[in-house]
Amino acid sequence: MEHGDENRDEIAARVREVITTAGVSQREFARRIVMDPSKLSRSLSGTRRFTAAELARIADEGQVDAGRLLGARHRPPARPAGAAVPVEGGRPSQIVRETVRLIAERGFHAVRVSDIAEACATSTAAIHYHFPGRAELLEAAVRWCMDEDTAHRAARTADAADPADELRQLIALQTPRTAQQRRQWAVWLDLWAEAARSTTVGGLHAEYYRQWRETVADVVRRGVAQGSFRPVDPEAAALALTALIDGLATQVLATTPGTPGTDAEAMHTTLLAYVDSTLTAPTPPMN
């Protein structure tokens, strides 16, 4: 085995220790450091090298010195549990949240690293410490939005009474009524445009929509099985409904809030009417 491979295995072992000490799953740790779980898995198995930026985020989240992960001979002691992390406003999650906010307000290509640094009350060097370039920042922003959207959907539908109620909850969650929902849609619209130019973002975009459509298809499938929905093709129904949601949301965001016919309430009413006319099973006649 080459020395480089030995070092790679040693680094992977130290990262495993950090994850174990954190007391969370590998997937959750990947989410915290804004890293693709599959990349973390490959790096831990030795088939991929950790980048310097990834190791910096791992050290920051695990509250250890980066030199410890690299196996430096003279390592500063690890920070004690619960101690403040001496990274001036530059924690990865904060950087990504501020990046997403600025993308929503200005569009990705109008956001400079210096803008993000100012929003985080830190330096551009601190931003580059965690995310070397704009491509890494954009990928992290996409993943953060995907995770947030998935978490919100799970929380919103946890107490749904039946598939029909669950579908109504999903539609309500996708309707840009609040300022936060409008910001989230603004980010998605910007990322759609970027997905057409970036292979990485395009891949993430495709994966997110595959998961989103499968979520809707699963709800429809269960509704059909329980008799609350018509016997439709779940995948085709999910494709049509998600496309309608996207199209209506785009119109809502493209017009002044409150404009009759193209506001959030009109979108919500249209979506419920569509579900009622195409999916909801007719009520059996009373004897």
pLDDT digits (tens, 9 = 90+) for 105-139: 888 788 899 999 999 988 898 888 888 888 788 88
pTM of the model: 0.70
What pLDDT is attached to residue 279?
A: 96
Q: Measured in Å, how far apart are the chain's first and last C-alpha atoms?
A: 80
Tell me what the mean pLDDT of segment 42-68 comes to.
83
Which among 29, 88, 108 is positioned nearest to 61, based on CA atoms? 29
| Cα–Cα distance for residue pair 282/287, rounded to 1 Å | 15
| Cα–Cα distance for residue pair 239/214, rounded to 1 Å | 9
- Is 60 exceeded by the pLDDT of residue 56? yes
What pLDDT is attached to residue 5?
A: 58
Which among 66, 216, 195, 131 is positioned nearest to 122, based on CA atoms? 131
| Cα–Cα distance for residue pair 26/265, rounded to 1 Å | 41
User: What proportion of the chain, given as a percentage, has pLDDT over 90?
Assistant: 31
What pLDDT is attached to residue 287?
A: 58
Confidence band (pLDDT; 50, 70, 90) for 51? confident
* SS3 assignment, position 280: strand
The answer to whether 153 and 170 are in contact (CB under 8 A) is yes
Residue 213 tokens, joined: 């459509």
* SS3 assignment, position 48: coil
Give residues with Cβ within 8 angstroms of 13, minimum separation 6: none
**pLDDT tens digits, one per residue of 192-240:** 777 777 677 778 888 888 889 999 999 999 999 999 999 999 999 999 9
Tell me what the mean pLDDT of segment 244-272 comes to.
89
Tell me what the mean pLDDT of segment 80-103 comes to.
64
What pLDDT is attached to residue 30?
A: 85
**Cα–Cα–Cα angle for 217, 221, 226, nearest 5°?**
150
**pLDDT tens digits, one per residue of 235-256:** 999 999 999 999 999 999 988 7
- Is 90 exceeded by the pLDDT of residue 166? yes
- Is 70 exceeded by the pLDDT of residue 86? no
Show the DSSP H helices in 25-91 as ranges.
26-32, 37-45, 52-62, 66-70
What pLDDT is attached to residue 284?
A: 67
What pLDDT is attached to residue 248?
A: 95
| Cα–Cα distance for residue pair 42/44, rounded to 1 Å | 5
**pLDDT tens digits, one per residue of 174-184:** 999 988 888 88
Q: Which of 40-44, 79-83, 147-151, 273-277 is most confident? A: 273-277
What pLDDT is attached to residue 215?
A: 93
In DSSP terms, 280 is beta-bridged to 229
Which among 101, 62, 94 is positioned nearest to 78, based on CA atoms? 62
Tell me what the mean pLDDT of segment 69-77 comes to.
52
Tell me what the mean pLDDT of segment 22-49 comes to.
86
